[in-house]
Structure 1
Amino acid sequence: MKPYKSLKATVLFLAITTLLSCNNDEKNNNAESTKSLLGVWQRSDFSAEYDYKLYFNTEGNGYSTEYIAQPDGTAISNLRPFSWSSSEATLTLDYDDGATNATPFTINAAGQLVASGISNLPFNKL
C-alpha cells in the first residue's frame, strides 16, 4: 500500500508542477508582448504629407496621432487617447470616445508592429 501512496503523491506533484509552469509561461509571454509594445510606433509610409503614430505607455494608456497635409497648405491632425492591453497575440485598444478595437498583432522579423485591424501597413518603432 505504501508504494501506491508514493506513486499517487509523485503523480500529483508532477501534475501541479506542470500546471503551474504553464501558467507562468503564459504570464511571461504576455509580459514580453506587452513590453515589446511600449514606446512610439510610426506607420511605415510616413511622409511630409502624412504621418500616423501609436504611443503605448507603461500604465496601459496611450494615444494615436494622425497628420494629413492638405493641397491648400493647411493640415488636419487629431489625437485619440486610448487604454490598451494585450493577451497573447491580440491587442485591444479602448478609445476614450467609446470605440474598441481588438486586433491580432505580431512583431515581425524586421521588428515592425503588424496589426491588421489598425492598418494594412506595418509600424516602425521610434
Structure 2
Amino acid sequence: MTAFLLCFSSATTQLETAFEEEKQILESLLKWFGKVVQQMEELGEDELVPDWQLPLADKDITNNIAKLVQRIQKLEELKGRVQDLPKSIQIPAAKQKDIQVLILHKMAFLLTSTTIM
C-alpha cells in the first residue's frame, strides 16, 4: 500500500507540473492567436492580404508548441507506467473512477481559478 501511495503521489506531482506548464504554453498560444485575429480584423474583410504580410509565429510560439508536444508524450508515458503497475498495487476500477473525478475537479478548479489574459 505504501508503494502505491508513493507511486501515486509521484505521478500526481508530475501531472500537476505538466498541467501547469501546458497551461502556460496554451495561454501564450492564445495571446498570439488573439493578436493574429485582431490584425486580420483590422485589415478588413474585403482586403486581400499577400502571404508575406501575414504574421509568422515567433520563436517563442514555435518552442511552446514543441514543449506542448513533449508534455503530451510525457503524459502518455505516465499513463503507460500506471497501467503497467502490478495488479496488487493498482486501484480497483470503482476507486479509479472516483480518483479520476477528483482529478478532473481539481483541474477544472485550477483552470477557473486563473484568468487568461
TM interval, shorter chain, is 0.3 to 0.5
Rg comparison, structure with higher value: 1
Query: TM (normalized to structure 2)?
Result: 0.34
- Highest RCO, 1 vs 2 (Cα 8 Å, sep ≥ 6): 2
> Is the strand fraction higher in 1 or 2?
1
TM-score, with length taken from structure 1: 0.32
Structure number having the greater helix percentage: 2
